[in-house]
Amino acid sequence: MKTTKKITRKPSDAAPTAPARAFAARRGGCYHVPMHASTTLAQHRLRAGMVGLGMIFDETYRPLFEQLHAEGLYRRDFGLVEVALTAVASRTGSRAERLQQSAGGRLGAFQSFTEPNAVGQLLPHVDAVCIATPDDRHFEPARQALTAGKHVLIEKPCVLRVQELDELQALARQHNVLAKVVYHKLADPDHKKLRTHYVDGNLKHVNHGYCSLLEPKSISGGQFAEWIKGRNPGTYVACHYIKLIDFTFGPAWKLSRITATGQRGLVGAATGPTWDSVQLQMVYTHPDQREAAFDIHTSWVTPDNFPGYVEQEVQFRFDNGVWNSHQRKRGVELCIEGKTPHQFKETPNHHYNGTFVEPWGERSQRGYGVEILRKFFEEVAFVEHGGPPHQRAQRLEDMRALTYNDVSADRNTVAVVQALEAILARHAAGQPGSMVEVNAPEGGLVLRVPGRPEPEVLCPQRV
């Protein structure tokens, strides 16, 4: 019978030996160390910091940090790297306290820093910082972290203005670190297949599309109630689809125009600045001058007992084909008395994130929501430990060239978000129906209001 020999080395030991690499290779290149094992081969360590400990931290970052604590991060090029959550920054520290209590040894020890200057206190203790605060509070912690020479991962949308994006990108270059943003829908197998068909030329020349993401009232009334005033559901979820479209069908085309409207009256006053639902249209121009138009509808006032929980749909039309996908119609429908739809979703997306008893007995939490975060740590590990120090600059450039998550490739998405916010602000101020032109003679993002001859330049730099 074949047996697996346990290999035990001290952290200070030199590079993983041939037996260790063979051990990893036998496991299909995936170095899995059971949680109870004392096996320690890592010669490198990455210290991670977390800013914001809300819903998305619980759903995706926490399971990843638990896995990394148990198993480390292995790839043939950088070997075994320990990745540890060493510090968290939050406003009051109460969530950090609860996390420490509930972690039960699955996370390791971490320091908790609170306001004032929570991020500033956290920075000396980490090599990379993940930012999962509400989206109008991404820029400042990202700016601080990059200035301190830390790699940064920001939840979508990374920032709300192209000018902020440019500043983060410049800081990342100046301090020789990565600045990345999380769009987990790019890792959804259906969206990967859509892009694969487009890259392979099976689907040709996208003409138009429609995407929707409708969230329940509990999101606007409970989960996000603290920061929702003056905000809209488009900025933080339409950006998923803006990025999907821009990444899947670009980069040869040019973003041309953005329009938007929406409804008010449920979450806030009918004439106020807080939006219930938003309809956005963005128009791109292909190199052959044909235009492609995409409508993205978002809402956070769907009744809580709607069976979809979050209703998501994507449709694209091409010169030679159609792609329709629907979150609720692609998979499982579940009903358990007294448990669905609240404790368990009725149409769960187990590809995004699910907790499982694996066939081999292990309990796990996995899905593309976790996988996409792991990629960031692989990219950081590759930059820092994927080869000799004198080749670090090249490795950094290689990782920056990954357009799915580098901030340098996020210009169009941030430009659309900036335009959307400006159009809705004008609407709330009594001037509906504006249009933002991209790379107009007056500037990179130019807001034109019906009946007003003078445009407003939202961003002078070209997008």
Ligand X SMILES: NC(=O)c1ccc[n+]([C@@H]2O[C@H](COP(=O)([O-])OP(=O)(O)OC[C@H]3O[C@@H](n4cnc5c(N)ncnc54)[C@H](O)[C@@H]3O)[C@@H](O)[C@H]2O)c1
Please, how many CA atoms are within 13 Å of residue 330, restricted to the half-sphere of its CB? 17
If one asks whether residue 56 binds ligand X (CB under 6 A), the answer comes out as yes
Q: Choose, by CB under 6 A, the member of 68, 85, 132, 436 that binds ligand X.
A: 132
- Compute the least distance from the CB of residue 130 to ligand X, in Å: 10
Q: Choose, by CB under 6 A, the member of 67, 86, 133, 353 that binds ligand X.
A: 133
| 316 contacts 211 by C-beta, under 8 angstroms | no
Instruction: Enumerate residues 6+ apart whose C-beta is below 8 A from 70.
Output: 33, 35, 106
3-state secondary structure of 40: coil
CA distance 317 to 42: 49
Touching ligand X, residues 164-183 (CB under 6 A): 182
Touching ligand X, residues 411-450 (CB under 6 A): none
Single-letter residue type at 439: N
If one asks whether residue 245 binds ligand X (CB under 6 A), the answer comes out as no
Segment near ligand X (CB under 6 A); pick from 5-13, 27-35, 85-93, 401-409: 85-93
Q: Choose, by CB under 6 A, the member of 47, 54, 190, 375 that binds ligand X.
A: 54
Indicate if the alpha-carbon torsion angle 278, 431, 136, 377 is positive or negative. positive
CA distance 282 to 352: 27
- Compute the least distance from the CB of residue 246 to ligand X, in Å: 16
Which residue's CB is nearer to ligand X, number 115 or number 362? 115
Which residue's CB is nearer to ligand X, number 241 or number 294? 241
Bridge partner residues of 155 (DSSP): 182
Touching ligand X, residues 215-234 (CB under 6 A): 223-224
Please, how many CA atoms are within 13 Å of residue 386, restricted to the half-sphere of its CB? 19
If one asks whether residue 243 binds ligand X (CB under 6 A), the answer comes out as no
If one asks whether residue 91 binds ligand X (CB under 6 A), the answer comes out as yes
Which residue's CB is nearer to ligand X, number 154 or number 255? 154
Residue with the two structure tokens 């991020």: 119
Alpha helix (H) residue ranges in 362-440 = 368-385, 392-400, 411-428
Which residue's CB is nearer to ligand X, number 87 or number 89? 89
CA nearest to 155, candidates 372, 332, 339 = 372
Segment near ligand X (CB under 6 A); pick from 20-28, 32-40, 128-136, 388-396: 128-136
- Total residues contacting ligand X by CB under 6 A comes to 24
If one asks whether residue 354 binds ligand X (CB under 6 A), the answer comes out as no
Which residue's CB is nearer to ligand X, number 69 or number 240? 240
Which residue's CB is nearer to ligand X, number 156 or number 426? 156
Which residue's CB is nearer to ligand X, number 151 or number 184? 184
CA distance 395 to 389: 10
CA distance 406 to 163: 16
Q: Are strands 443-448 and 291-302 parallel, antiparallel or unpaired?
A: unpaired
If one asks whether residue 156 binds ligand X (CB under 6 A), the answer comes out as yes
Q: Choose, by CB under 6 A, the member of 89, 278, 416, 447 that binds ligand X.
A: 89
Bridge partner residues of 324 (DSSP): 315
| 158 contacts 165 by C-beta, under 8 angstroms | yes
If one asks whether residue 137 binds ligand X (CB under 6 A), the answer comes out as yes
**DSSP string for 198-214:** HHTTSS--EEEEEEEEE
Which residue's CB is nearer to ligand X, number 182 or number 292? 182
Residue with the two structure tokens 């969206």: 191
User: What is the number of residues in the chain?
Assistant: 463
Which residue has the CB atom at the shortest distance from ligand X? 54
Which residue's CB is nearer to ligand X, number 99 or number 203? 99
If one asks whether residue 46 binds ligand X (CB under 6 A), the answer comes out as no
If one asks whether residue 45 binds ligand X (CB under 6 A), the answer comes out as no
Q: Choose, by CB under 6 A, the member of 41, 48, 50, 53 that binds ligand X.
A: 53
3-state secondary structure of 115: coil
* Chain residues that interact with ligand X, rule: CB under 6 A: 51-57, 89-91, 95, 118, 132-135, 137, 155-156, 182, 184, 223-224, 236
